[in-house]
Amino acid sequence: MPLPSVTSAAAPYCGVCLDQPPAYDATIAAVDYGAPIDQLVVSLKFGSRLALAPLFARMIRDALLLSEAPQPALPTLLTPVPLGGARLARRGFNQALEIGRPLSRMLGIKLEPRLALRLRDTDAQSTLHPEQRRQNIRDAFVVSNEFIDGIRGQHVGVVDDVMTTGETLNELAATLKRFGVARVTNFVFARTLLK
């Protein structure tokens, strides 16, 4: 199994990241996204195998604990990447929330499922060419009114199942920071290898 990865937006991984640093500050990923891991993700996301969510959470926690990279303090709260209303109705659950629940308990960090809201349904990022993904997700998120005053200066952990190009996580982090969040760390189960 691939080693867990921890990356920081400040780390010089590629020219694109140096030229256009992402809005998030770090990413904790349990595994590389590829066969056979991709089938586990598909089983959770599209096969409703919700029993996989605690396993994904445990592996994210372990990646965090096993990381040799210097770690800042843990986030003060967690939030899942929100799904659009139509996709949530079709699927019946948000896989990021299902991973976030046990991760919250394991790390002892409060989970706020409604901190971030998706303003509109977007096309599935996986169906789009990488250049189209940024435009598809632009301005798709907002911070819920009930949390606006409480998140200023906070460190928020964003939970998701897979990070491919990072556009969704980047847009959500940029939204959180516009509302005063000081630091955003992504907690993802699988991450596409950087090329």
pLDDT for position 140 = 85
Q: Which residue has the tokens 């604990």?
A: 65
Q: How far is residue 112's CA from residue 154's CA, in Å, rounded to a whole number?
A: 13
Question: How many Cα atoms occupy the beta-carbon half-sphere of 139 within 13 Å?
Answer: 1
DSSP state of 115: S
Give the bridge partners for 158, in sequence order.
Answer: 79, 186
Structure tokens at 62: 């372990």
User: Domain tally for the chain?
Assistant: 1
Confidence band of 122 (pLDDT split at 50, 70, 90): confident
Residues in the chain: 195
**CATH for 135:** 3.40.50
What is the rounded average pLDDT of the residues 171-180? 96
Percent of the chain with pLDDT over 70: 81
Q: Whole-angstrom distance between the N-terminal and C-terminal Cα of the chain? A: 19
* pTM of structure: 0.86
Q: How far is residue 142's CA from residue 115's CA, in Å, rounded to a whole number?
A: 9
Provide the residue range defining the domain that includes 142: 5-191
Mean pLDDT score of the chain: 86
pLDDT for position 72 = 65
Among the residue ranges 32-41, 85-94, 131-140, 181-190, the one predicted with the least confidence is 131-140
How far does CA 154 lie from the centroid of its chain? Answer: 17
Flag whether pLDDT at 52 surpasses 70: yes
pLDDT for position 8 = 42
Confidence band of 120 (pLDDT split at 50, 70, 90): confident
Confidence band of 128 (pLDDT split at 50, 70, 90): low
